[in-house]
Structure 1
Amino acid sequence: MAASRKQKPDLQKKVHEVPHKPGVYLMRDRFNRVIYVGKARDLRKRVSSYFLPSKLAQADLKTRAMLDATWDFETHTVRSDAESVLLEGKLIKEYRPRYNVSFRDDKRFLVVRGDLSEEWPRFRLARFKKDDGSRYFGPYAHAGALRQTLNFMRKKFGVLTFGRGAPTERELKSSTYQLPVRLSEISAEQYRERVAQACDFLEGHSREMISTLEAEMRKAAEKMDFEKAAELRNMVEDLRNTTRPTRRFTRGSLPATIDPLADVRALADALRLPGVPHVMECFDISNISTTHVVASMVCFRDGVPDKNNYRRYRVRTVEGQDDFASMAEVVRRRYSRVLLQISDTGNRRP
């Protein structure tokens, strides 16, 4: 029995193949499941530190348990620290590794939303991109840098970056520290030209403006005005962090941990099915108090989630908490409908 067990591989040799570049790393257990996702400015240094004897001796219980369970790792390089933060967050939300805590909730990175259908468009912060006709920029990994960039845009372009709806009386008639222009002195068309310039700036057309700020920073330093020079330096760094082009990591571009078709075939073999299942539907019952019983159904097609066919049900005929009766009702309603559709259309696939 002991001789048949797989030998844990020596990962120290693999570490030497890791590049000295920013990126993310994934730790896997002996079943090839992702158990931890991390980011690093230097992947070689970060990953190699896990396998040093001194590191293991000083590690806390959680890290020691994670390293004991690690049988393999993989790395993915990116172009910047900001991209590593974005990719790390996406991977943790995708795979929900048991040794990660951060990013496992539904919190999202900030995006900037501009509703150009408004007469006086404003730039606002948001967490989600919606299909509402607005223009969205981001996501942005550095929230602090993004807020400083919006402050800069407000002063440089004279655009609104807070509030809602049409400009207030104060915004129209007064120039303030936040908005150093009287909007009553320009037309809505002129304001929209400023909004277009701000949009170009957020899309990365900022090299000339950053060069101007760098020249001002050098002049301030020559005049021994180091406080202003430091302020300009921080502003340049924030603008670069915000306007630097970053890749958008979508589900299709993330590193895959499974082979859907191979897993479906393995499932068919394990259950001794006559063929490979093309559609799988899974149900769950939830009880909210004793008065509200609901059910959910998820659907997979060829091993891939088919979210367009996810369904929710409110249980109608069952009183109290009775999961078996509730499941029977939901399954009966679901497949009565499927059989009716088959009889009407002749299509045997739901």
Structure 2
Amino acid sequence: MTNPASYRPKPGEVPDSPGVYRFRDPQGRVVYVGKAKSLRQRLANYFQPLHQLHSRTATMVTTAASVEWTVVSTEVEALQLEYSWIKEFDPRFNVKYRDDKSYPYLAVTMGEEFPRVQVMRGAKRKGTRYFGPYAHAWAIRETVDLLLRVFPVRTCSPGVFKRAGQVGRPCLLGYIDKCSAPCVGKVTPEEHRALAQEFADFMGGSTSKYVKRVEAAMREAAAEMDFERAARLRDDAGALRKALEKSAVVLPDATDADVFALAEDELEAAVQVFHVRGGRVRGQRGWVVEKVEDLTTADLVHHLLQQVYGDSADQDDDGGGAAGGSEQVPREVLVPVEPTDPEQTAAWLSRLRGSRVEVRVPQRGDKRALLETVERNAVGALNLHKTRRGGDLTSRSLALQELQEALGLDEAPLRIECYDVSHLQGSEVVASMVVFEDGLPRKSEYRKFNVRGEGPDGRTDDLASMNEVLRRRFRRHLEQQAAEGGGGERVEQVSGPVSAEVQPGIDPTTGRARRFAYAPQLVVVDGGQPQVEAAAAALADLGVTDVALCGLAKRLEEVWLPGEDHPVVLPRTSEGLYLLQRLRDEAHRFAISAHRAKRSKSMTTSALDGVPGLGPARKQALMARFGTLKALRAATPEQVAEVPGVGPATAAAVLAALAGDAPAPAVDTATGELVD
């Protein structure tokens, strides 16, 4: 625990101007980011006597070892910089709104040559328009099924689309007129893109013009006695109206607003938002946040808007209909209480949207009634979260405490790394490293290793692979320590404005953490006593003595320690054992995924390995053009030679190799001609 007085800035050093500050721990990691109208007054609040601080604030300042700041011109700039730093460094003491589940979105991939309509979850991608979120994926599929009658946009995966183009026949949806079949050229790319744009416009709220257009075409067909076409258009209009009925009308037409509500207690808060577009509820979403600092409701609203619309701003509108800030930020943002600095928040949102955005608390009428409905949803979400995950934080703390006691550690292992090896009969050997911090996965720190047989005797079995991976991981860490501080000693940190000074574990050119910059308190290997001894030998050879080590054997879930003849047996109900199992299973999953990807890549191009003059780039270009070895084998030399970088001689060599001719023709790399 650090004494805050040891890094407190001297009087007069901190400027009395707007800016953003960040606290770092002894290893150089950013643990908290904040902004202030006056840096001098705000930072002074952190260096009061500890008993006068909120308990969470006291924990933060005693965890930190230095503080630095950046001065900006305006408070809006401070808001933007604060969001950027929180996004980049993911500080452990900042508020993090976590989705209470993974919400599905209806996505239109306008960035592709042939846009596709699909259900998407997770991080948003550039060049894609999103609608929702929806409570259930089946609700999206029902809506899409109705709209495909009128807007027959492609919904198939890239593999299905590519195969249909190769064989010249569309899939079932193309035959039943629920896809315009661009894969076989029934429509041009421009015509298909126009259909996708109309689909997106309809989902975006421009509904009436399409309904009126279909109804006008229906009347025109009836007047021309084309009753079959009129009946089809009548069904299309019915499909559009049925899709509209799935969205409840809650506010007058043309109202675009996001309605936020919170329900909170001393430890957590639940947030719900209704996305209203064109007066209809187009989506609903929820978050849960653990209060890791002393926050008012206004502070929570401020951080909520910053995170929600900051993420939207990261999606660039590149001309392909991306879900950019102008599309995600509505005209009105309705909140239960005004955020801190409401004028600056509104100015920031207006800048993201490109036009005026109003942030306000509704007092009466339909908007107030809708806010109360959202508040009831937030209360229900908080109660449900407490029921499902009420013991989550407690159980994580208990798990770390149990591991500390069972393994005889001096302190709870806040950072744990787990390793596993995956291979197929000794080939394509891959190892994984997964990282848990504070009992939760930190996926940005995951690493995979291609095992090269660098063990003591050049073997690549499980034990030698584990030994090699631990050597490589901790040798890299020791090299970085030596380069930064000389022999791994702690580098003294000086509080002050942000500068180019080297921080331990931080790359001075990017400001981000170096790879393998931080050593864990505990290393877990997937296996029993042999694997633990192999890992212990690697650590001993490198002189690493301050990292604990254990292994988890699958058969009886026993915990093995180095140099021990008998395992540690944790109770089946132990939270510590459950955490080790999660680590082991996650490392196994990550290793298997990496091994399969490597094996698949190897198998795809293995038949081309012996072709002279054909390197990895040309192999990749051939597979991108033809898709499969079967299609490549059936191609003519002229078609193969059309691939960039592949000339006639190389094309002949490729086809000869695939045809099984032995030996394959040699190619003069200088002239590109066949050699007799």
Please report the TM-score for the alignment, with normalisation by the length of structure 2: 0.26
TM-score by length of 1: 0.44
